[in-house]
């Protein structure tokens, strides 16, 4: 599998247009949409485990009762009486705190169900494959470009990539000027080359204080 073999079909594909494969094929588009969102598998696992623990306990007590043995922790009748009497028999602080914890767990699951769960990823246009890139990879590539444009070291550049915005923070070396336009143009050019979907905006922040001896 060398690259020489790939050159021939490559030309053919290029003639038919360089638009992203992902947008042509509905199945691939579906896969990409799934890749851009969280599957909620982790929350599903936690929820299933919680429900299973509760059910297992109820089953244990029911089984113990069915064969006429004494209850393990609490008898159903006693439990029901205690629950009916609820604000009594337990300190209100404990009850309130316990209720708050249970409500928080419920809110967590509800938010997991309702929020879009967008992942910090962008799509790239490509001839052959559907390409998904983590935003951190984009950030490190842009940081490299910004670093060479600003002529500073790695530690002086920090890039944050979000869905719609790229923020480039540069701390110039003390005594040498860094042109904001140069950095902006370089990062923009790199971003144009990558052409991620959705295309974010670029903002450059030059720190007012410089780094000494970098």
Determine, following the binding rule CB under 8 A, whether residue 193 of this chain makes contact with other proteins. yes
Q: Closer to other proteins at the Cβ: 13 or 177?
A: 13
Of residues 17-56, those binding other proteins (CB under 8 A): 25, 27-28, 30-32, 34-35, 37, 39-41, 43-45, 47-48, 50-52, 55-56
CB of 103 to other proteins, least distance (A): 3
Among the listed ranges 126-134, 162-170, 171-179, 199-207, the one in contact with other proteins (CB under 8 A) is: 126-134
Distance CA 104, CA 143 (A): 39
In this complex, which beta carbon is closest to other proteins, that of residue 30 or of residue 174? 30
Q: Report d(CA 180, CA 195) in Å as an integer.
A: 22
List, as one string, the DSSP characters of 4-17.
Answer: HHHHHHHHHHHHT-
Pair of tokens at residue 116: 């879009």
Within residues 158-187, the interface with other proteins by CB under 8 A covers none
Q: List all residues 6 or more positions away from 23 whose beta carbon is below 8 Å from its beta carbon.
A: 29
Report the alpha-carbon distance of residue 151 to residue 160 in Å, rounded: 19
Q: Which is nearer to other proteins, 37 or 203 (CB)?
A: 37
Beta carbon nearer to other proteins, 59 or 74 = 59
CB burial of residue 183 (10 Å; 0-12, 13-18, 19+) = buried
Give the contact letters, 134-163, x = binds to other proteins (CB under 8 A), - = no.
Answer: x-xxx-xx-xx---------x---------
Cα distance between residue 20 and residue 123, in whole Å? 10
Binding-site member from 160, 167, 194, 197 for other proteins (CB under 8 A): 194
């Amino acid at each position: 599998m060398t690259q020489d073999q790939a050159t021939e079909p490559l030309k053919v594909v290029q003639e038919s247009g360089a638009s992203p494969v992902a947008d042509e094929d509905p199945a691939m588009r579906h896969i990409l949409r799934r890749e851009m969102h969280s599957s909620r598998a982790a929350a599903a696992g936690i929820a299933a485990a919680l429900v299973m623990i509760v059910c297992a306990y109820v089953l244990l007590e029911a089984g113990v009762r069915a064969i006429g043995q004494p209850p393990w922790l609490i008898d159903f009748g006693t439990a029901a009486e205690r629950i009916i009497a609820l604000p009594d028999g337990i300190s209100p602080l404990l009850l309130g705190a316990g209720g708050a914890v249970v409500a928080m767990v419920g809110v967590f699951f509800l938010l997991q169900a309702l929020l879009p769960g967008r992942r910090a990823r962008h799509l790239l246009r490509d001839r052959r494959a559907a390409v998904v890139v983590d935003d951190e990879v984009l950030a490190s590539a842009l940081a490299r470009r910004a670093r060479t444009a600003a002529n500073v070291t790695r530690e002086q550049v920090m890039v944050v990539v979000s869905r719609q915005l790229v923020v480039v923070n540069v701390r110039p070396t003390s005594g040498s000027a860094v042109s904001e336009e140069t950095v902006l143009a370089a990062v923009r050019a790199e971003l144009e080359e990558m052409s991620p979907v959705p295309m974010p905006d670029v903002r450059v922040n030059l720190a007012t204080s410089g780094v000494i001896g970098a």
